[in-house]
């Protein structure tokens, strides 16, 4: 009987797949009834149950799960020849359950209405618009930098501990309620990853566990990067699965924070994307625009660049290639490149507001 049940569960993976793809054609429905409906209650339930833990329960689940999978394959690899049908039934029944849980607990957010549509923003922009917004961000970033550092050549040192940053980050979402009334972030469940070392060498600064709805931030990254990574991962928790949208929401949350260090990190975070896009379009124009930026801000950017260079390794491209494939499988056709599309949201949002 148990074998029959496993076979049925394994076969259910097929209709699940087509059901997900079918719903993906109706983003308005997903946005209304899942992202702004069922998911709100599911995510709050997980944050209420696990948010109080001082460590990442999801990281433990991953660790135990990985050990179990390795042990299972080691013990059952001979069955692949002697009991082939049931071997595949065992494997795909587990995959089917995980596929179901992933989409129910978080994954359907990949198929929601794009943010530029719900905000009525134009997804296109000219180089002239880009430069105008970039200059506005430079003005804001320079002013905050000078207020903090008192010298335009000194980089900003964040005096907050990383645990303090984790506690303060949700406050930035309070300032966004007028624009995004559904961004109610309570209770809190954002933590430093137990696997910060491997996460760093894989080239990632944070992630959301879709099975426990805990946001994990790499505990090793510089504090200048830590603040906006935290607000970015909270955006994922709130249902913004697309990376460009989580970057945009995370940037606005930091900018709208009452803490000056969060605001500084937020403005420089958005500015970096805009500067990179100008450089991609016109290197000479980039050199002209970046002259107006305080040297101390460039030193903060350099701090992050040096950190990642110090932790590069030959396997990093493999992990990023795998994640890029995962994004493409979930309607982010540009894969990791979709991160750069935050510029379109920033340019059109700041022009509107």
* Positions of E strands within 141-292: 190-192, 206-209, 214-217
193 and 319: one domain?
A: yes
Backbone phi, psi, residue 215, to 5°:
-95, 125
**pLDDT reading at 289 higher than 50:** yes
Q: Which residues contact 45 (CB under 8 A, 6 or more apart)?
A: none
b (16+ CB within 10 A) / e for 297-318? beebbebeeebeeebeeeebee
148 and 96: one domain?
A: no
87 and 196: one domain?
A: no
312 and 328: one domain?
A: yes
* pLDDT tier, 286 (very low <50, low <70, confident <90, very high otherwise): very high
Tens-digit pLDDT profile for residues 122-140: 888 899 999 999 999 999 9
Q: Give me the pLDDT at residue 101, please.
A: 96
Q: Which of 32-36, 37-41, 180-184, 327-331 bottoms out in mean pLDDT, i.e. has the lowest?
A: 327-331
155 and 254: one domain?
A: yes
Mean per-residue pLDDT, 74-81: 87
260 and 134: one domain?
A: yes
Q: Give the whole-angstrom CA distance, residue 170 versus residue 188.
A: 8
Question: pTM of the prediction?
Answer: 0.90
* pLDDT tier, 174 (very low <50, low <70, confident <90, very high otherwise): confident
Q: Give me the pLDDT at residue 332, please.
A: 53
175 and 63: one domain?
A: no
**pLDDT reading at 330 higher than 80:** no
47 and 97: one domain?
A: yes
Cβ(344)–Cβ(125) below 8 Å: yes
**pLDDT reading at 334 higher than 90:** no
* pLDDT tier, 312 (very low <50, low <70, confident <90, very high otherwise): confident
101 and 156: one domain?
A: no
Closest CA to 281 of 86, 127, 160: 127
205 and 275: one domain?
A: yes
Q: Give me the pLDDT at residue 333, please.
A: 54
343 and 195: one domain?
A: yes
Mean per-residue pLDDT, 68-75: 92
* pLDDT tier, 121 (very low <50, low <70, confident <90, very high otherwise): confident
104 and 158: one domain?
A: no
Average pLDDT, the chain: 89
Q: Give me the pLDDT at residue 255, please.
A: 95
* pLDDT tier, 323 (very low <50, low <70, confident <90, very high otherwise): very low
Domain that holds residue 98: 2-111
Looking at the 3D structure of the chain, how many domains does it have?
A: 2
* pLDDT tier, 316 (very low <50, low <70, confident <90, very high otherwise): very low
């Amino acid at each position: 009987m148990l074998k029959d049940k496993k076979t049925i569960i394994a076969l259910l993976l097929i209709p699940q797949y087509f059901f997900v793809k079918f719903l993906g054609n109706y983003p308005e429905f997903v946005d209304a009834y899942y992202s702004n409906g069922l998911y709100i209650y599911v995510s709050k339930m997980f944050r209420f149950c696990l948010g109080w833990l001082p460590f990442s329960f999801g990281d433990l689940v991953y660790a135990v799960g990985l050990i179990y999978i390795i042990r299972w394959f080691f013990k059952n690899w001979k069955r692949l020849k002697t009991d082939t049908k049931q071997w595949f039934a065992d494997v795909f029944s587990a995959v089917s359950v995980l596929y179901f849980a992933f989409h129910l607990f978080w994954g359907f957010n990949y198929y929601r209405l794009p943010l530029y549509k719900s905000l009525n923003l134009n997804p296109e922009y000219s180089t002239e618009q880009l430069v105008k917004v970039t200059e506005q961000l430079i003005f804001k970033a320079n002013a905050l930098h000078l207020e903090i550092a008192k010298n335009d050549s000194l980089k900003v040192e964040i005096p907050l501990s990383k645990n303090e940053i984790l506690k303060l980050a949700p406050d930035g979402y309070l300032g966004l309620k007028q624009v995004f009334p559904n961004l109610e972030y309570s209770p809190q469940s954002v933590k430093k990853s137990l696997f910060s070392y491997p996460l760093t060498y894989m080239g990632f600064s944070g992630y959301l566990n879709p099975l426990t709805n805990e946001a994990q931030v790499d505990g090793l990254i510089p504090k200048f990067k830590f603040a906006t990574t935290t607000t970015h991962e909270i955006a994922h928790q709130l249902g913004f699965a697309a990376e460009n949208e989580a970057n945009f929401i995370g940037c606005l949350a930091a900018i709208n924070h009452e803490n000056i260090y969060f605001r500084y990190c937020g403005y420089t975070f958005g500015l970096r994307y805009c500067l990179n896009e100008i450089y991609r379009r016109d290197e000479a124009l980039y050199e002209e625009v970046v002259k107006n930026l305080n040297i101390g801000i460039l030193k903060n950017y350099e701090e992050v660049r040096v950190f990642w260079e110090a932790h590069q390794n030959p396997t990093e491209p493999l992990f990023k290639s795998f994640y890029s494939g995962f994004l493409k499988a979930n309607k982010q056709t540009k894969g990791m490149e979709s991160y750069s599309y935050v510029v379109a949201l920033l340019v059109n949002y700041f022009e509107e507001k």
